[in-house]
Each structure stands twice: as C-alpha cells, then as structure tokens.
C-alpha cells in the first residue's frame, strides 16, 4: 500500500447513509460523519438539525488514491443521492441535507466541476449541488459514527439506509471490499 492518503468531504443528505455506503468501498480507509459548510463553531447535532448553523451533514472520507480515485468517489456520489433536490433527500428536509462537495484544493474543485457536468446527463432536472472550498470539518458526536453498522435494527436504518446500501452493493460490486 502507498503511504499517501487523501480526503474527500461530501454531503448528500443524511450522513449515516453516505457513511454506510463509503465504508464498503475498496480503497476507503476511514469515513467520519460530521458537519461542514456553515459558520457556527463546534456545532452540535441539535444545532445543525435546527438549520441555523449553515452546516450540512457530511462525511469525510480518507482514501488511498492508488486504489480509488477522487473521480471514482464522485462517480459513486452522483449515483447514491438525488443532487437535483435543494435542501432535501427523501423525507429529510432542511439545509443540513443539501448536496455539497467541499473541496480540499484547486485540483479537487476542477475534478468536481467536471464530474458534475458529466453527471448532469443522469438527471432530467438541473443539479443543485454546491461545490465550495472546505474551511473546516467538525466530526459529529461519537454516537453518529459507524451508525448503520451499530444500529441496523433501528427503524430509520431498516427503512432508509438498508435499501440504499443494498442498491449500492448490487450496482457497484466491482468497488466493494471483500
């Protein structure tokens, strides 16, 4: 394995959903649920849920670029949520659930913009995903980390996350950890 690791920070609705999917991806070493894109310092889940912090629920993905590229992570991103609905994913409504790519550098910004232009062909409505520089990432509280794997029987996990994970696993078998 290479020594160099990179990070991607993405938001596409509930962070539990993205976390559960990206944890399965070969080359992804760590996924941390958290908050970014807003102005409040050290926000709590409750503050973010009220929609007054400006932060979105996001995941920060640490990956090995020799195994999976940033482009491939974005290819998955465009297919695991609806980037055409402003401030919502399914029944989750609010600015904290917006579609957002927080770039770590200029190269990521350029790749994200190109990827978004290519993904536009997948949707009949315009993509509303924000592409903005990451200023700061705040990890979510401990009880949010690895949520799906620890709470599979919880109703939200069964009704919302599990179907998304199953669909992802069926469609992306070549990207799954064994």
Confidence of residue 40 (pLDDT cuts 50, 70, 90): very high
18, 79 contact by CB (below 8 A)? no
**If you compute the radius of gyration of the chain from its CA atoms, what whole number of angstroms results?**
15
25, 74 contact by CB (below 8 A)? no
Which residues 6+ apart lie within 8 Å of 110 measured at CB? none
pTM, full prediction: 0.95
In the block, tokens 């998304």 appear at 164
Kindly tell me if the per-residue pLDDT of 34 is higher than 90.
yes
Residues with catalytic annotation? 14
Q: Mean of the pLDDT values across residues 154-168?
A: 93
pLDDT digits (tens, 9 = 90+) for 128-151: 999 999 999 999 999 999 999 999
Structural domains of the chain in order of their starting residue, each with its CATH number: 6-175 (3.30.1060.10)
| Rounded Cα distance, 13 and 20, in Å | 13
């Amino acid at each position: 394995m290479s020594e160099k690791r990179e990070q991607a920070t993405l938001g596409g609705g509930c962070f539990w959903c993205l976390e559960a999917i990206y944890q399965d991806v070969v080359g992804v070493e760590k996924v941390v649920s958290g908050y970014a894109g807003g102005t409040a310092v050290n926000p709590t889940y409750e503050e973010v849920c009220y929609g007054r912090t400006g932060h979105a629920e996001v995941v920060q993905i640490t990956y090995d670029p020799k195994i999976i590229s940033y482009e491939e992570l974005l290819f998955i991103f465009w297919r695991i949520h609806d980037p055409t609905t402003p401030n919502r994913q399914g029944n989750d409504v609010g600015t904290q659930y917006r579609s957002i790519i927080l770039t770590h550098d200029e190269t990521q910004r350029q790749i994200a913009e190109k990827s978004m232009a290519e993904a536009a062909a997948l949707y009949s409505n315009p993509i509303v995903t924000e592409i903005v520089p990451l200023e700061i990432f705040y990890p979510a509280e401990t009880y949010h980390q690895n949520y799906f794997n620890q709470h599979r029987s919880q109703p939200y996990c069964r009704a919302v996350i599990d179907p998304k994970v199953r669909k992802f696993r069926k469609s992306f078998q070549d990207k799954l950890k064994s």
